[in-house]
Every structure is written in structure tokens, then in C-alpha cells.
């Protein structure tokens, strides 16, 4: 099967996943197929995992063109929608392993916030982790990935399309860390 067909099959399976459906206060209302949640403009739960190496560089990756939201955009966090049967932390661990092949690392919880734009409405939980091992990219979701200094990332977001939801998580993280880079955004 070609890579494009793999992506299409993955997208269909992803659209059918049962996602946690929540209200404006993040109370669980039930579960809906991801595509239905998106089409009806309802609120789901999302996780964002900022992966750093021990040198403090951030892993950024480019999303495949088959993604329903922000296709081909660059992303500063691994992550995704929380399944109906998962906690935020369980979702974060699953997504980090699926997308970047990273498992068995300590996830540090940082923030819980609401994000809304024309593409999605989400209650978000942001995490970070440190990893110096190899990355194993999920070909149906990730085209390429690399680690780069946070200052370079902040410059790139003005030049390339980056996912606004994960940028919100990164900006909140940097501000909480007292990082001056966040003030320039």
C-alpha cells in the first residue's frame, strides 16, 4: 500500500475514534467520534507534550498533509485528542509513543487551559518530557522532526505555519518558566 493510502486509512480510523466530549468547565459529557465532535463544533480534550533534549532544545515536527486540522503545519508538541476512556496523562503518554516513538519517560504536567479557534475547541493539558534517544516517527502523522533551540523555534513561528493550539501551550509554558523568549511572541 502506498504511503498516501496508509495516511488515508489512518485518517479514517482517527476520525472514527471515540473522543472525550466535555462542557465549558471540562466536565465529561460522554464520547463522540472525532469527526462528529469537530463537525458539530463541540468541546473535546487535547494533550500537548513538549519534548526537550538534555541540552534544552525542543523537538518540532511537521504534520502530514492528510491531517484533518493544520495539515502540513509544523508542531511544537506531540499530542492529540484524549480518548473517552483515558485521563489526560494516559493520553499524553500514548500520543508521545505513537507520534515520536518515545516511551518510559517522566511526563511533567504544566498547565490546563481552554483553547478555541476556527478549527477546534479544546480543554488542553500540557506536559513536558526530556529525551535524548532516537525518535521513531509515525509515518501516517509525522513527516519529519528535529530538535532545535527554543529561540530558533520562536523565530521560525513567524516564518512557517505552526499549529496555533500547541503554540498556545508552548507560550504558556515559557511564560510560566519566566523565559524572556515568550515575551517576544
Judge whether 4 lies within some domain: no
* pLDDT value at 32 more than 70: yes
What is the extent of the structural domain holding 169?
48-79+86-177
- What is the distance between the alpha carbons of residues 102 and 160, in angstroms, rounded to a whole number? 26
Tell me, what's the pLDDT at 15?
Answer: 66
What total of structural domains would you count in the chain? 1
Tell me, what's the pLDDT at 184?
Answer: 43
pLDDT tens across 35-85, in order? 899 899 999 999 999 999 999 999 999 999 988 889 999 999 999 999 999
Q: Are 153 and 60 in contact (CB under 8 A)?
A: yes
Q: What is the DSSP letter of 95?
A: H
- Average pLDDT of the residues in 121-128: 97
Q: What is the DSSP letter of 23?
A: -
Q: What does DSSP say about strands 43-52 and 121-130: parallel, antiparallel, or unpaired?
A: parallel
Judge whether 3 lies within some domain: no
Judge whether 147 lies within some domain: yes
Name which of 132, 37, 23, 25 is nearest 80 in CA terms.
37
Q: Residue 129 belongs to a domain with what CATH number?
A: 3.90.79.10
Amino acid at each position: 500500500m502506498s504511503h498516501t493510502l496508509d495516511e488515508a486509512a489512518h485518517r479514517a480510523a482517527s476520525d472514527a475514534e471515540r473522543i472525550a466530549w466535555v462542557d465549558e468547565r471540562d466536565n465529561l459529557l460522554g464520547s463522540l467520534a472525532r469527526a462528529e465532535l469537530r463537525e458539530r463544533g463541540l468541546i473535546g480534550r487535547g494533550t500537548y507534550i513538549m519534548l526537550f533534549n538534555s541540552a534544552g532544545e525542543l523537538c518540532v515536527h511537521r504534520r502530514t498533509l492528510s491531517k484533518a486540522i493544520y495539515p502540513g503545519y509544523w508542531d511544537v508538541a506531540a499530542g492529540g485528542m484524549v480518548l473517552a476512556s483515558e485521563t489526560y496523562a494516559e493520553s499524553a503518554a500514548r500520543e508521545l509513543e505513537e507520534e515520536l516513538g518515545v516511551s518510559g519517560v517522566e511526563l511533567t504536567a504544566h498547565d490546563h487551559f481552554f483553547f478555541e479557534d476556527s478549527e477546534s475547541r479544546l480543554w488542553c493539558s500540557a506536559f513536558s518530557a526530556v529525551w535524548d534517544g532516537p525518535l521513531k516517527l509515525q509515518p501516517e502523522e509525522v513527516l519529519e522532526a528535529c530538535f532545535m533551540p527554543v529561540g530558533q523555534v520562536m523565530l521560525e513561528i513567524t516564518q512557517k505555519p505552526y499549529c496555533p493550539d500547541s503554540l498556545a501551550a508552548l507560550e504558556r509554558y515559557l511564560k510560566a518558566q519566566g523565559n524572556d523568549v515568550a515575551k517576544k511572541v
